[in-house]
Chain A
Amino acid sequence: MEVTPDAIVFWQWRFVTINATIVFTWVVMAILVVISWLATRNLSVGPDISRWQNLLETVVGYMRKQIREITQQDPDPYLPFLGTLFLFISVSNLLAIVPAYNPPTGSITTTGALAVCVFFAVPIFGIMQQGLRGYFQHYIKPTPIMFPFHVVSELSRTLALAVRLFGNIMSGTIIVGILISIVPLVVPLVMQALGLLIGQIQAYIFAVLATVYIASATRTTFGKSEAHSET
């Protein structure tokens, strides 16, 4: 039993290592790209749309609604980044029911990379919305004494994002592995079903937390015009 899929090495040449994390990340990426490409190949308008287009429209529409509710802003600038995060984590956790598949989110390298993406996306979106001056001013609010606390909170929440996703998915894999060696009948199945639920909740939570962080960096003041447009 391996703790992380990093330890399963398929192919190695000098310092270039192809391990299970990379391979299964490629698999998830390929599945997402191929399904999106097939579904958006011939889009149509009206009541007579294909099943795959219906599925993608539901997913995208629901994500737009959620982002609009949380950020109280127009969701379109944030949808590509946040939607990709959610779909990638969700599909990579969902495929855990496939035999011989190790979720790449069960490795600290994958979750760390995703958390670093969020870490850099927050100032990028903030500067895009408010300008350099407006974004960096919130570091010294309400007083300049708060500056180190703001910096520490940004670093620690990045670490928390990475370790939370990693810990939840890895614990699911390990608990099933331990149970299979103790009671191989029925009981691991229940834990695997619970693991599927936890995987979806964690994907949702990762995306919602990224949305909340980006919203807090892009929203200047409460109760301005965009807050009223919702009601």
Chain B
Amino acid sequence: MDMVSIIGLVSIVLAGATIAIGSVAPALGEARALAQALRSIAQQPDESNTITRTLFVGLAMIESTAIYCFVISIILIFANPFWNHVIEQAGK
């Protein structure tokens, strides 16, 4: 295989693997956080405002790891720097 095919193959496979693995762990974490928050609201309905706000901020923090993985896989597919470099080299 030439250079372009190898880079294309590795990029596509790794983009899929990144988003697959990278979304499992945040999903588990968010599920735990949500379950705990629902339990807390059921126990103390008066504090639901504070709990909901803290829950949203916490979910955003957890979700940012999944977003990092998503951004990396998007870079691998749409704006791959190595791919562009090899194409440029071949054009010369």
Tell me the A residues contacting B by CB distance below 8 Å.
3, 69-70, 160, 163-164, 166-168, 170-171, 174, 201-202, 204-205, 208-209, 212
B67 touching A208, Cβ below 8 Å: no
Q: Tell me, rounded to whole Å, the shortest Cβ–Cβ distance linking A197 to chain B.
A: 12
Tell me the chain B residues, 38-85 only, with Cβ under 8 Å from chain A: 49-50, 53, 56-57, 60, 63-64, 67-68, 70-71, 74, 78-79
Q: How far is the CA of A205 from the CA of B67 in the complex (A)?
A: 15
Q: Which residues of B contact A70 (CB under 8 A)?
A: 53
A171 touching B60, Cβ below 8 Å: no
Number of B positions contacting A (CB below 8 A): 15
Looking across the interface, which residue of chain A has its beta carbon closest to that of B63? Answer: A164
Tell me the B residues contacting A by CB distance below 8 Å.
49-50, 53, 56-57, 60, 63-64, 67-68, 70-71, 74, 78-79
Known: A3-B79, A208-B53. A166 touches B71 (CB 8 A): yes
Looking across the interface, which residue of chain A has its beta carbon closest to that of B64? Answer: A164
Looking across the interface, which residue of chain A has its beta carbon closest to that of B77? Answer: A3
Q: Which residues of B contact A3 (CB under 8 A)?
A: 74, 78-79
Q: Which of B50, B53, B56, B68 contacts A163 (CB 8 A)?
A: B68
A208 touching B70, Cβ below 8 Å: no
Q: Which residues of B contact A167 (CB under 8 A)?
A: 64, 67-68, 70-71
Q: How far is the CA of A205 from the CA of B61 in the complex (A)?
A: 9
Q: List 19 A-B contacts (CB under 8 A).
A: A3-B78, A3-B79, A69-B50, A69-B53, A163-B64, A163-B68, A164-B60, A164-B63, A164-B67, A166-B71, A167-B64, A167-B67, A167-B70, A168-B67, A170-B71, A171-B67, A202-B60, A208-B53, A212-B57
Q: Which residues of B contact A163 (CB under 8 A)?
A: 64, 67-68, 71
15 extra A-B contacts, CB within 8 A, seeds A164-B64, A171-B74: A3-B74, A163-B71, A164-B60, A167-B64, A167-B67, A167-B68, A168-B67, A170-B71, A170-B74, A171-B67, A204-B56, A205-B56, A208-B56, A209-B57, A212-B57
Q: Tell me, rounded to whole Å, the shortest Cβ–Cβ distance linking A114 to chain B.
A: 15
Q: How far is the CA of A212 from the CA of B57 in the complex (A)?
A: 10
Q: Which residues of B contact A202 (CB under 8 A)?
A: 60
